[in-house]
Amino acid sequence: MKTVPLALVALAACSGASQARRSQPEVSTSDVHHFVAAFSRLSPADTSCASLAAYLQQESRGLAAYRHKFNVTQHDLCLAIRRSPARYAALADKLGPLDSAAVMVRTVFARFAALHSMTTVPAVYFVVGNGISGGTTTRGKDPIILIGMELNHSVNGLPWTIAHEMVHTQQDYPWLGSLTGGPKFLRGTLLRQSIMEGSADFIAELITGQPKRNRYAESHEGELWRQFRRDAGSKDYSQWLYNGWNARALGDRPADLGYWMGYRITKSYYEQAADKRQAIEDILTIRDFDRFLAASGYTGGQPLAPSA
């Protein structure tokens, strides 16, 4: 499928116009179609996955951005397919529903616009990668939302993922402390990163109407809050964020509980705010995360309430 504009009628692009200034995003599923075609020619005996070369040669700018961000090669993709062949075989059945992606994205973006004006209009590319990310974004003035379809089990769950990633493109937080890797002195604190992720979850809840639930976190909220408060200023995320790879070491504790804590803090801030639209503005433009936490009134163990 070729790149599809969000509008019903294709928008004529002015020569030399910045994509960051477009009023409607481009939405592309072409990479998924190309992958399914390449996968159908894949021979079990071919350890190099030669047919994937065609998929990569036809890559969109979205797939190119994904591969650059995660340093993904044909070899990496081949290994991922050999590890989880059923995951990739299932993509063929998603093509039909996925072809309505433009409508799906339009709905998500319109619902966000009812809450807050969009500061930038990101493109949305559905790609197939090596199982490293079901949803991510690129940075800069012309961000791209990248949806890794091999990790999205159902098209029905895509609006939430798109909404979460779209919120990241609207967050205007200080650059200093925005890194999640590299030397620890350059990273953001656990509090900052948890609010960044959790606020995207909360606004995705408002957009989609799908409440975020986590049975473990809900039943251990007071305990988690005490632990989180102790670690909030740390730059070690290993117990709270991006730790799904270490599931065995976590035991019965789910991965990524920092998302939940950030969600609860953000939800508390929104619920106590008299002006809900201003609350969204505040959430998207935090300058001092410790002050935001204090203003949220969140102290752990509060009863869950439906979002307004």
Predicted confidence (pLDDT) per residue in 68-119, tens digit: 999 999 999 999 999 999 999 999 999 999 988 999 999 999 999 999 999 9
**In a shared domain, residues 192 and 147:** no
Could you tell me if residue 57 is inside a domain?
Answer: yes
**In a shared domain, residues 139 and 263:** no
pLDDT for 217 beyond 70? yes
Could you tell me if residue 95 is inside a domain?
Answer: yes
DSSP code string of 72-137: --HHHHHHHHHH-HHHHHGGGGGHHHHTTHHHHHHHHHHHHHHHS--S---EEEEE--SSS-SSEE
Gap between the Cα atoms of 153 and 257, Å rounded: 21
**In a shared domain, residues 231 and 287:** yes
Counting other chains too, the contacts that 143-151 makes at CB distance below 8 Å and 24 or more residues apart are 143/169, 144/61, 144/62, 144/65, 145/169, 146/62, 146/65, 146/66, 146/69, 148/66, 149/32, 149/91, 149/94, 149/98, 150/80, 150/84, 150/87, 150/88, 150/91, 151/87
**In a shared domain, residues 79 and 124:** yes
Could you tell me if residue 308 is inside a domain?
Answer: no
Residues spanned by the domain of 241:
184-296
Q: Which of 109, 143, 170 is the last residue of a domain?
A: 170
- 39 DSSP assignment: H
Task: Write down the pLDDT at residue 218.
Answer: 94
**In a shared domain, residues 85 and 11:** yes
Range name among 22-31, 51-60, 234-243 with the lowest pLDDT average: 22-31
**In a shared domain, residues 188 and 149:** no
CB atoms closer than 10 angstroms to residue 278: 11
pLDDT band at 12 (very low <50, low <70, confident <90, very high): very low
CB atoms closer than 10 angstroms to residue 119: 11
Could you tell me if residue 307 is inside a domain?
Answer: no
**In a shared domain, residues 150 and 204:** no
Could you tell me if residue 208 is inside a domain?
Answer: yes
Could you tell me if residue 178 is inside a domain?
Answer: no
Could you tell me if residue 108 is inside a domain?
Answer: yes
Q: Which of 118, 139, 170 is the last residue of a domain?
A: 170
**In a shared domain, residues 32 and 67:** yes
Task: Write down the pLDDT at residue 93.
Answer: 95
State how many domains the chain has: 2
